[in-house]
Amino acid sequence: MCWNLFKKKPEKPLEYVVYEMSWEDLVKLLKDNDLELMLKPKFKPDHKIYFTTESAWSKIIPYLTYSAEAYAESERRDCDDYSKKAAGDAGFNYGLFCAQAWGDCRYGYHAFNLVVTSPTSFKLFEPNAIFDEVAGRLIDQGEESWQAKSWK
């Protein structure tokens, strides 16, 4: 579902509802789902985080999915670089919180992304189009063997 795979690029969402939650509520939500925060406990990068609905995220995610051509089979440019770019672009281009997440998938230990879709739920996504079975769309924790274990 990456935009590179479409014959016609999907329409970029210009309007979407934005919700907010406190950093503490985000930490609690993810801790309650057994995800470990990779930052020092008292470190708060944001007072509030901003998120949108699952439907709106579904329209945004293709713009946070990047061509596999940038992937290098080395530590120089790999999965954590893709997830870092997606997280930064979500904040910069959409004003929405997107976390880097690390965990397991059918290919082994891997970095991907996590977005909040409501005050009580989150979804995962893969920003590298090479993982075409999940790239460019939201997935549930555990779906297609993708399981987040930590985040920042």
State pLDDT tens for residues 26-50: 999 999 999 999 998 788 888 999 9
Percent of the chain with pLDDT over 70: 86
Residue 107 lies in a domain: yes
Residue 90 lies in a domain: yes
State pLDDT tens for residues 94-112: 999 999 999 999 999 999 9
Residue 131 CB coordination number (10 Å)? 22
Residue 38 CB coordination number (10 Å)? 12
Residue 139 lies in a domain: yes
Residue 140 lies in a domain: yes
Return d(Cα 94, Cα 16) in angstroms, integer.
Answer: 10
Q: Quick one: average pLDDT of 57-61?
A: 95
Residue 11 lies in a domain: no
Residue 106 lies in a domain: yes
pLDDT recorded at residue 74: 58
Residue 72 lies in a domain: yes
pLDDT recorded at residue 7: 37
Return d(Cα 60, Cα 98) in angstroms, integer.
Answer: 11
pLDDT recorded at residue 1: 42
pLDDT recorded at residue 13: 66
Residue 74 lies in a domain: yes
Count of structural domains within the chain: 1
Q: Which helix (H) or strand (E) holds 32?
A: helix 23-32
Q: Which helix (H) or strand (E) holds 99?
A: strand 99-105
Q: How long a stretch of residues is the chain?
A: 152
Residue 81 has pLDDT above 80, yes or no: yes
Give the domain extent around 74: 24-39+47-151
CATH number of the CATH domain containing 34: 3.30.460
Return d(Cα 27, Cα 139) in angstroms, integer.
Answer: 20
